[in-house]
Structure 1
């Protein structure tokens, strides 16, 4: 589903180029869930942006569903994101002028795959039944995050990319949202790549990798070498 082959990415700084990804190799199989951990500034979000085609590597290949992202034009990458990728961030990025119902449907409508039955199932599973006419500002933080997750999953994407999806929530809400997210991911049949700083959040996923010094390794092995 997702493959990185010797991917490099650097950014210009006053002190010179800063390489955050130094030959990253990664293979994520269909239906697999992977937690990505690492210190702040280690390049986790950069890796997620490359997976979504929001950024391009300096060298190496990123393939999504067998397609090399860097060979696509920006309109083609945008279309691939709409049709195959769901994005969930700490900042909910909900449309304030749209109701809960319309925010949930937005991504599926853009992808041209709206499924009213699946949308109704999401509303029920997300605990948002009866709130469909409310606007984001009328929801709690936990409700907004659940809505953001539902919007990302509404088109049943092949790949869900989540960047600290529970980072702005208290411990109890974070646990509920994580359980809900993983259950819906399994039901939708999509692959999950999640950035997190929390070992507790990473624990239920199939695998956990640590990004350190520009490279990926199983978290336990990387920490033992540190």
Structure 2
């Protein structure tokens, strides 16, 4: 579903080039969940942007659904994102002028794959029944993040990218939202790449990688060890 092969990425700074990714290799199979951990500034969001085709590597290859992203023009990358990707962000990014049900339907409508039965199931599973006509500002933080997750999953994407999806929530709400996210990911069968700084959030996922000094290390065994 997703593959990085010797991916390099650097940014220009007044002090010279800053290397963020230095020969990163990773693979994510269909239906698999992967947590990406690392300190602030380690390049986690950069890696996520590359996975979504929002940015391109300086060297190496990023392949999404068997399509090398560097070989695609931006309109084709945008089309691939619309058809194959779901995106969940820490800041929710809901449309304030749309009510709950229209925010939920938005991504599926853009991809022309809206399924009313699946939308109704999402409303129920997300705990948003009875709130369909409310606007984002009338929801709690947990409700807004559940809505953002539902919007991303409404088109049944092949890959869900989540950037610190519970980072703005208190610990109890974060745990509930993460459990719901993983339940719905299993229901749709999509792959999940989740950036997080929390070992607790990473532990339920199939695999865990640590990004440090531009490279990734598999720390799945440590992440799954309850001690």
> What TM bracket, shorter-length normalisation?
over 0.9
Aligned position for 1:181: 181
How much has 1:13 moved relative to structure 2?
0.7
| 1:37-48 alignment runs, 5 A limit | 37-48=37-48
Distance 1:221 1:60 in 2: 28
Q: Would you identify which runs of 4 or more consecutive aligned residues in structure 1 move more than 6 Å?
A: 220-223
Alpha-carbon RMSD: 1.3
Q: Per the alignment, do residues 2 and 57 of structure 1 end up closer, same or farther by CA in structure 2, a change over 3 Å counting?
A: same
Aligned position for 1:57: 57
Distance 1:187 1:221 in 2: 25
How much has 1:219 moved relative to structure 2?
2.5
Q: Is 2:8 aligned against 1:8?
A: yes
User: In the TM superposition, what whole-angstrom CA distance separates every residue of 1:182-222 from its partner, at most 9, and x where no partner exists?
Assistant: 00000011000000000000000000000011011112789
Aligned position for 2:147: 147
Aligned position for 2:35: 35
User: In the TM superposition, what whole-angstrom CA distance separates every residue of 1:82-119 from its partner, at most 9, and x where no partner exists?
Assistant: 10000001011000000100000000000010000000
SS in 2 for 1:56: coil
Say if 2:3 and 2:64, in contact at 8 Å, map to a contact too.
yes
Q: Is 2:91 aligned against 1:96?
A: no
- TM-score, length basis structure 1: 0.97
| 1:101-116 alignment runs, 5 A limit | 101-116=101-116
Structure 1's unaligned 5+ residue stretches are none
Distance 1:144 1:80 in 2: 26
Distance 2:185 2:4 in 1: 22
Q: Is 2:134 aligned against 1:126?
A: no
| 1:151-170 alignment runs, 5 A limit | 151-170=151-170
Structure 2's unaligned 5+ residue stretches are none
